[in-house]
Amino acid sequence: MAELLMVHGIGPEDETEQRLREDWTRILARTLRDNGHAEAADRLEGGAVTVDMAYYRHLYQDYVPHDDFDVRLPAPIAATGEEVALDIIDNIRRHASDPDDSDEAADALEELTVDVGPEQGPLELLRMLVSMMGRLGPIARSGFAALSSTGAFHLGQVAAYLDDERVREGAIEAVLSRVTPDTKAVLAHSLGTVVAYEALHRLDQPLPLLVTFGSPLGLRSIIHGRLRPQPLCSPAHLKRWVNVADRDDFIVATLKLRKLFPEDDAVLERTRRVSNRDFDPHAATEYLSHWETVEPLAELL
């Protein structure tokens, strides 16, 4: 019965559904209040607006590392994780605001022309990529790959969603089971934007609004042969889609998502750009602190 459905992205396995829902709701209400929508903020915080989180982090239990250097990914999923890692490094090269960050990423990609021999093991390239990512400015500041196991687990969440049907279908069901005729908006972050995209293409009822932020939609590793459906198009029953991006968010695939969609797509709007704080440009709470992200929700709440 949720009027507002939230869809989280990648993150630590101990981040609970309740914590995510409460954190997002608190920041969302603050942004509404700071921008002259105190009544909507009060309704949200007071429970007059029903809120739910489509939670699927528990589906990654088989891939949770046991210690700081453990990587528990099957070889095929690790290989997909490597593709995602290369795309993330290329994101920094293509649209980082600091030329030094961009140059550093370009140098890292050049280093990767050296092949990793099969005798080093199926996970060695992934470990090397995680180590390399951890030294790049935007990622180093965020802690995304602070430990080998942390970075590999984050990449593994994306890869497992794409390659493990149990994870994929479970995440999609987490969304669809919570969308009702009362749902006014879906708010999705990071990998959650991919989950929402695929889930809403199966939706058989109208949905007024989708807001995505920090989205990897557009990554070659996600689109090529993996994203469903293809080619990219807006879900049939969706009325409005707003996408928000920070150019220093290393997960963001493109600052012009609209260009990847058909010219006659009247649902997805031009990407709104924001500037998050440097220490974690990908954080959901950073995006929710911006009026550009929250404004589309204000009139619905």
Give domain limits for the chain: 4-59+168-298, 63-163
CA-to-CA separations, 63 to 78, 209, 216, 230, in angstroms, rounded: 11, 33, 21, 28
Q: Using CA atoms, how far apart are residues 171 and 85, in angstroms rounded to an integer? A: 22
- pLDDT value at residue 121: 60
Question: How would you write the pLDDT of the chain (301 residues) with one tens digit per residue?
Answer: 799 999 999 998 889 999 999 999 999 999 999 999 999 999 999 999 999 999 999 999 999 887 766 778 999 999 999 999 999 999 999 999 999 999 999 999 988 765 555 545 667 888 889 989 989 999 988 878 766 788 889 999 999 999 999 999 999 999 999 999 999 999 999 999 999 999 999 999 999 999 999 999 999 999 888 999 999 999 999 999 999 999 999 999 999 999 999 999 999 999 999 999 888 999 999 999 999 999 999 989 8
- pLDDT value at residue 40: 96
Q: Would you call 207 helix, strand, or coil by DSSP? A: strand
Tell me if 244 sits within 8 A of 256, measured CB to CB: no
Write out the two tokens for 294. 């929250």
In the block, which residue shows the tokens 């687990």? Answer: 153
Q: Using CA atoms, how far apart are residues 184 and 118, in angstroms rounded to an integer? A: 51
Write out the two tokens for 284. 């959901």
- pLDDT value at residue 143: 77
Q: Using CA atoms, how far apart are residues 176 and 202, in angstroms rounded to an integer? A: 8
- Per-residue HEC secondary structure of 104-149 comes to HHHHHHHHCCCCCCHHHCCCHHHHHHHHHHCCCHHHHHHCCCCCHH
Partner residues linked to 187 by β-bridges: 6, 211
- What is the distance between the terminal CA atoms of the chain, rounded to a whole angstrom? 14
- pLDDT value at residue 55: 98
- pLDDT value at residue 118: 53
Burial class (CB in 10 A: 0-12, 13-18, 19+), 109: middle
Write out the two tokens for 260. 């990847």
The angle at the Cα of 217, spanning 44 to 138, to the nearest 5 degrees, equals 85
Query: Torsion over CA of 71, 7, 288 and 157, rounded to 10 degrees?
Result: 10
Which among 103, 100, 32, 90 has a CA at the least distance from the CA of 300? 32
Torsions phi, psi for 180 (to 5 deg): -130, 175
In sequence order, which residues have a C-beta less than 8 Å from that of residue 70 and are 6 or more positions away?
Answer: 149
Which among 262, 236, 134, 241 has a CA at the least distance from the CA of 185? 241
**CATH annotation of 4-59+168-298:** 3.40.50.1820
265: left (phi over 0), alpha (psi -120 to 50) or beta: beta
In the block, which residue shows the tokens 């609970």? Answer: 16
